[in-house]
Amino acid sequence: MNWTEKYRPKTLSEVIGNEDSKEKLVRWFINWRSSDKYGVLLTGPPGTGKTATVYALARDFGYHVIELNASDYRTAEKIMEKLGFIAYGNTLETYISGRPKKLLIFFDEIDGIDPKEDRGGLDAVLKIASKKSVPVIASANFIDPVKHKALLDNFEVIEYKRLTPKQIYIVIKRISELEDLDVEKDTLLEISRRARGDARLAINMLYAVSVGGDIDVVSNPLENMPLDMLLRRISSSSSQLEIKTLLDSNSNHWEDVLYTYFDIISRSPVMKMERRAALLEHISILDVILGRMKRERAFYLMKYFTAILSWIVNQSNRWGAVYDGRIPEYRLYVFVLNRDVRAELDELLSRYGRRLHESRRKFIFDSVLAASLANPEYKKLLEWVGKVYGIEDVLRRVKQYGVSKN
């Protein structure tokens, strides 16, 4: 089991650091029905204890947590599909047992919901929270005061700060003792320093040391990476531990990585057939797991997902099938479903397609990047290209300085 899950604090007293923030949360929770705010928003860097506090709070007060991650639930339709029953104040268990179950809704990484792009997702969150049927808590690493103004206006904001090296040391020393690890004090102090206030990163570093790994491998996991950067990092890695650490730190890209490597392995000109068949069989297993996680909310399967996926990536790298910069077709068309992007793409295609003598599909795969960069007036298309190719820095320079049209 992942150590961050295995050693997640059971009670609030076990949550290290941010004492003032924990006290504010408890005060709000005790009086949540009478509060003039719909819910609470916990903000702060990763690994500072936001999620741990929510689950410890729920356990202390006898509540069951229903967690939704913005990576999976971004639109009003998906959110209401999961939580619509709560608007009526009843659960299936209430009807079966006659005893209402105390529920707490937790929207993790709510900053991943874009009010403009995600079809009413934030409005759905506010609608559910405003009914005051159950307490609602949200968390965010970085909150945009403009995009998320409605959330900031209606939720009480509680800030979490990075942990000190001393607090990190307390966390990992306890785990090393429980795991009966033979780790020197100097190593624990080095981990505490390198973790930069992120307890989750420190625990991953301790695990790396426990299995004979190098602290340097996991000391900079780079969370929230663009997909292109993540694919290049894992494709160039020769360490399964590093690959798993990068995947664990970028859970919003799990599905994309899975299907990208399906594409990479399927069309590899160098991989032997029996090796390809073995990896594709494991990808099919992960596809089933992913389907169950979505369909049945079987999130306990998450602990198997990155373990298998990191093995697939590592084996693929060893056998010569590596990421070459190409994005799978399914991902391109996910973005092209946006009406504004599609309109700009069609216009650009009409301007360049005939001149380049390319089909629509070939244009999308081979030429849309250069064509859109050469025409920065296509703002929606530029944004789409940035998301697909992970070239936000290039796009910022284009928007700042402009590019002469051909």
Dump pLDDT digits (tens) for 114-161: 655 555 678 888 888 888 888 999 998 878 788 888 889 999 999 999
Q: Give the DSSP H or E segment for 64.
A: strand 64-69
Which position has the token pair 């929606």? 380
Read off the tokens for 184: 């020197």
Whose CA is closest to 361, among 372, 349, 379, 371? 349
DSSP at 270: S
Q: What is the pLDDT of residues 200-258, one digit of tens each?
A: 888 878 887 887 766 665 565 566 677 777 888 888 777 787 788 888 878 778 888 99
Q: What percent of the chain has pLDDT over 70?
A: 69
Residue 93, pLDDT score: 47
Rounded to whole angstroms, the Cα distance separating 59 from 53 reads: 10
**Confidence band (pLDDT; 50, 70, 90) for 76?**
low
Range in 24-38, 291-305, 312-326, 378-392 with the lowest mean pLDDT: 378-392
pTM above 0.85, yes or no: no
Residue 55, pLDDT score: 94
Q: What is the pLDDT of residues 316-351, one digit of tens each?
A: 988 988 887 665 655 655 555 556 767 777 777 777
Strands 39-43 and 103-108: unpaired
